[in-house]
């Protein structure tokens, strides 16, 4: 493949993932708007519905977000009375986030979202499962590269 073709937008995996992510978030939007949530807020609740409580640091690790991004989002969720934030009594630097009863009530409303979205994309659950495994594996590999700062260096052709 020549350089010009390699640089074409339709040959960029990152762009396809980026655009697909945006389109998937658009599919979620009407479901989440009914619950008064944004997609990132929904992701926080998915974790808390499963774990009930965790630290801001744990949330950040699971969502690949830093505390500077999470803190305003958690403040909004707390203002909506969906989560409660409390400083740890043993380590003041640690903030624990717990789902509230009101936050738990939203779980029932969210139960059908995933199946509705999979159905709307017209892919089978088998295809969905396979794609999910591939994306998770790619995420882990790329995250590890970023953590270890082991990047491939590419020299541009100088013509």
For position 80, what pLDDT does the model report?
98
**DSSP string of 32-86?**
HHHHT--HHHHHHHHHHHHHSEEEHHHHHHHHT--HHHHHHHHHHHHHTTSEEEE
Q: Distance between CA atoms of 89 and 99, rounded to whole angstroms?
A: 18
Q: Distance between CA atoms of 34 and 57, rounded to whole angstroms?
A: 29
For position 154, what pLDDT does the model report?
58
Partners of 96 in the β-ladder: 55, 86
Was domain 10-111 assigned CATH 1.10.10.10?
Answer: yes
Q: For residue range 89-130, what is the model confidence (pLDDT) as tens digits? A: 999 999 999 999 999 999 998 988 988 888 888 888 899 899
For residue 27, the tally of other CB atoms under 10 A from its CB is 13
On the question of pLDDT at 159 being above 50, the answer is no
Q: Is residue 54 within 8 Å of residue 48, measured between CB atoms?
A: yes
On the question of pLDDT at 155 being above 50, the answer is yes
Q: For residue range 44-83, what is the model confidence (pLDDT) as tens digits? A: 999 999 999 999 999 999 999 999 999 999 999 999 999 9
**DSSP string of 114-133?**
HHHHHHHHT--HHHHHHHHH
Burial label for 57, CB within 10 Å (0-12, 13-18, 19+), is middle
- More confident position, 10 or 104: 104
Give this prediction's pTM. 0.85
For position 125, what pLDDT does the model report?
86
Q: Is residue 40 within 8 Å of residue 73, measured between CB atoms?
A: yes
Q: Is residue 35 within 8 Å of residue 112, measured between CB atoms?
A: no
Taking residues 140-153, report their average pLDDT: 83
Taking residues 37-42, report their average pLDDT: 97
With cut-offs at 50, 70 and 90, classify the pLDDT of residue 4. confident
For position 117, what pLDDT does the model report?
86
């Amino acid at each position: 493949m020549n350089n010009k073709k390699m640089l074409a937008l339709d040959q960029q995996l990152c762009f396809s993932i980026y655009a697909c992510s945006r389109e998937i978030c658009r599919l979620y939007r009407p479901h989440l708007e009914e619950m008064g949530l944004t997609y990132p807020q929904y992701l926080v609740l998915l974790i808390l519905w499963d774990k009930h409580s965790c630290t801001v640091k744990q949330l950040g690790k699971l969502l690949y977000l830093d505390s500077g991004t999470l803190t305003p989002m958690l403040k909004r969720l707390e203002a909506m009375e969906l989560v409660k934030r409390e400083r740890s009594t043993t380590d003041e630097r640690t903030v624990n986030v717990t789902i509230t009863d009101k936050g738990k009530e939203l779980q029932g409303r969210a139960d059908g979202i995933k199946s509705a979205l999979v159905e709307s994309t017209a892919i089978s659950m088998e295809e969905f499962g396979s794609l999910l495994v591939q994306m998770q594996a790619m995420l882990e590999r790329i995250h590890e590269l970023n953590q270890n700062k082991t990047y491939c260096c590419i020299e541009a052709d100088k013509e």
